[in-house]
């Protein structure tokens, strides 16, 4: 059985004091969670959130990582720097990183390998745009990302994939339960073909397209969906807790 994982992506939200207050509200609401609970916070919030989540079921995640161990990369953060601060998960290749900051399949691959080498669990984002979906290119896009983003990975039980249809991120639009399940099922089958023998069957795949407190139960009832990468709803303790407690 694949254990569900619900991860909140705070994006560029919450000052240190706001982050502590949000975690304070969240902790009692998720204390009986039957899934892995992660908050992926702005890098500057990592130290205070580490302290705030102590003793709870919440795990700490980052939103990006560089592929080099050290060097002249102004503004970047290495995997070992994150590891030393208690970070366990890191989002890689989010569509906003690809769109606004020049992330490519090549750099996603390099960052993923760096995270794994440091003992972090990468949450690797893949997915198609609205134009690509409407043009019937969803599988072609996913095939490209699957072929390039994961080269050199030997144990896929140590990776989480977040399928995020770009057209459903921050737009309020959501794939139907069946659409999300079908596409995630395709990703899983394709991964098994391309990376046979590398524990792909134990890899978890989240849905990352505007899952919220209202639609989470339907999405999480689908057999291929192992969790959610949550954006806006992760900024409200009650909404995020509702998603975490989808089975109650």
- Active site residues per annotation: 94, 164
Residue 166's nearest CA partner among 93, 96, 117 is: 96
* Closest by Cα among 28, 58, 35 to 247: 35
* CA distance between the termini of the chain: 19
Asked if residue 233 lies in contact with residue 212, where contact means CB atoms within 8 angstroms, the answer is yes
Instruction: Classify residue 179 by burial, with Cβ atoms within 10 Å: 0-12, 13-18, 19+.
Output: middle
CA distances from 114 to 68, 123, 160, 222 (A): 7, 13, 15, 32
Contacting residues for 207 by C-beta, under 8 A, at least 6 apart: 162, 163, 164, 175, 180, 184, 219, 225, 227, 228, 229
Helix (H) or strand (E) holding 38: strand 36-40
């Amino acid at each position: 059985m694949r254990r569900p994982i619900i991860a909140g992506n705070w994006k560029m939200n919450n000052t240190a004091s706001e982050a502590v207050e949000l975690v304070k509200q969240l902790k009692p609401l998720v204390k009986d969670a039957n899934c892995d609970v992660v908050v992926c916070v702005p890098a500057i919030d990592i130290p205070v959130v580490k302290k705030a989540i102590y003793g709870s079921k919440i795990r700490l995640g980052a939103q990006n990582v560089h592929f080099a161990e050290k060097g002249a990369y102004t503004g970047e953060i290495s995997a070992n720097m994150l590891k030393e601060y208690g970070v366990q998960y890191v989002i890689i290749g989010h569509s906003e990183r690809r769109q606004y900051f020049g992330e490519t399949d090549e750099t996603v691959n390099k960052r993923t390998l760096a995270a794994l080498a440091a003992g972090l669990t990468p949450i690797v984002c893949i997915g198609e745009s609205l134009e690509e979906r409407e043009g019937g290119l969803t599988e072609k896009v996913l095939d490209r990302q699957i072929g390039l983003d994961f080269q050199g990975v030997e144990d896929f039980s140590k990776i989480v994939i977040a399928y995020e249809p770009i057209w459903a991120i921050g737009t309020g639009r959501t794939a139907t339960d069946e659409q999300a399940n079908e596409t995630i099922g395709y990703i899983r089958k394709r991964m098994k073909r391309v990376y046979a023998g590398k524990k792909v069957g134990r890899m978890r795949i989240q849905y990352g397209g505007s899952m919220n407190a209202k639609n989470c139960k339907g999405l999480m009832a689908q057999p291929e969906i192992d969790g959610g990468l949550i954006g806006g709803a992760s900024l409200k303790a009650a909404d995020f807790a509702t998603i975490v407690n989808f089975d109650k």
